[in-house]
Structures are given as C-alpha cells and as structure tokens.
Amino acid sequence: MPGKSNSKADILSRRPGFNQGKDDNEDITILPPDLFQNTISISALHTSTPSDAVFDLTVIPFHSRIHRVRNNLDHSVKIALNRKDEGWKTLEDGTHTFKDRIYVQIDKKLREDIIHEHHDSPLAGHPGQHRTAELILRDYWWPRIANDVRVYVEGCETCQRTKPHRTPVATPLHPFHPPTRPWEVITIDLIGPLPESQGYNVILVIVDWFSKMVKFEATHMELTAQGIATALCDRIF
C-alpha cells in the first residue's frame, strides 16, 4: 500500500503530542571553538582595541611585512588611488585594500612567500595554478598576480617530480632529408580506375621531390610491381 494511502498508520505515528525531531540539533556543537586557531582578519584592522576585533579563520601572517613596504606601490595602483577608483580603500595604518583584499606592494620576496604559503604548505597541498590563485585572492591582491602564480607553479620542483603527466607523450618526429639532385627521391601514385581508353584505365603519377616535376604514364588496374619497375626504367632512369 502506498504510504500516502495508509492514513491510519500516519495518525498513530504523528500524534500532536509526539516529538517531531525539529530541534534535535539545537545546542549541539560538533567542532568546539578550541579546535580552531583564532587569527585576525581584515575587519579587525579597523578596530582600536583587541577586545573589539573580529576573528575568523582567515590567516594574515604577512601583514607586518606588507605594512613595512606600504609606500612601494605599483604605478597602476598609484594612478587608481589618485583617481579614487571604485574598490580601493586605505586603512588607518596606511595599508591599501582592493575589493576587500589586501594589496601587496612591490616586494618580490614577499609576493613569492605569499604564493609559497598558499601552494607549498601542507594545508594547500600543491594545487594547480588556478586553485593557488583562488586561495591567494581570498585575502591578497597585486597586479599580474595570475602570471606570478603561473610562473611559480610551473617551476615548483615538487609538482614536477611527483605529479603525473595526464597528456600522452608526443611521438618524436623524424623528418625526411631533402634530396640533393633531381630524381634522387620520387613519389608514385595511381589515379583510377577511370573510364577505359585505348586499353588503359589508370594514370601512374611520378613526382620528383627535388624539382617537383611530374610525369604521367597510362596503365591499367592490373599493374604489378614489375610493371612499375619497367615504367620507371623506361621513363625516369
């Protein structure tokens, strides 16, 4: 009997006084807060006292280094800040953000360390260039970040040594050596069968690779290897 037709059983199992289990998960914590590490986020930079800071799981371990080079700006960033382009903000300590991401000033070692933290760390697990860029863009931004991540990931020794190549290996090419004189190398082809004419229904085409000269010989479909050799001796050699 279909369940929706068994109304008597539903009446017995769904009496108004029965607990329907709607609040079973209230006041139950699966992962307690002491399992997580509280680290300061961008929103905490706006606060004046540690007690007012907003904490979450967004890690910003490079903020002190970013603060030290805060005046070493990219040229395009200087223009954007002067024009007050949309998305740019300057925090109280002089740190700049773009679309709520901390702008990393010109510091090759600092940018490389940020990529390293989001690619080589055990939590990151050596992801690909797009995944690595996505992890970095959760908190940081700088011009041409995608290119910097691509160069770093392509040069990662661990990835090159351990990750499998999922594309088939290309077969090595063995080009032909060009001929040095006419009729040293030739190609042969047959065109047919064609409508019979004077007892022939196939055209034997002989092409010289060196000069591209072409010779045609009327023949038939029953042509044998001996017949081709005879034609070459009579017409070419």
* Tens place of pLDDT per residue across the chain (237 aa): 676 677 666 666 666 666 666 777 777 778 777 776 554 444 444 444 444 444 343 445 688 888 888 888 889 888 988 888 888 888 888 888 898 898 988 888 999 999 998 998 888 888 988 999 999 998 899 999 999 999 999 998 888 888 887 788 888 888 888 888 888 888 888 888 888 888 888 888 889 888 888 888 888 888 888 888 888 888 777
Coil, strand or helix at 219: strand
Task: Give pTM, 2 decimals.
Answer: 0.48
Separation in Å, CA 138 to CA 46, 120, 179: 18, 17, 61
For 74: left if phi > 0, alpha if psi spans -120 to 50, otherwise beta; the answer is beta
All residues at 6 or more sequence positions from 112 whose CB lies less than 8 Å from its CB, including other chains = 152
Q: Where are the beta strands (DSSP E) in the chain?
A: 39-40, 55-56, 88-90, 96-98, 101-103, 140-141, 186-191, 202-208, 214-219
What residue type is 210 in one-letter code?
Answer: F
pLDDT recorded at residue 54: 45
Between CA 182 and CA 194, with CA 188 as vertex, the angle to 5 degrees is 135
pLDDT recorded at residue 151: 93
> How many other C-beta atoms can be found within 10 angstroms of the C-beta atom of residue 97?
18
Domains and CATH numbers, the chain: 39-162 (1.10.340.70), 186-235 (3.30.420.10)
Task: List the one residue out of 99, 120, 112 whose CA is nearest residue 149.
Answer: 112
What DSSP assignment string belongs to 103-171? EP-S-HHHHHHHHHHHHTSTTT-S--HHHHHHHHTTTEE-TTHHHHHHHHHHT-HHHHHHSPP-SPPPP
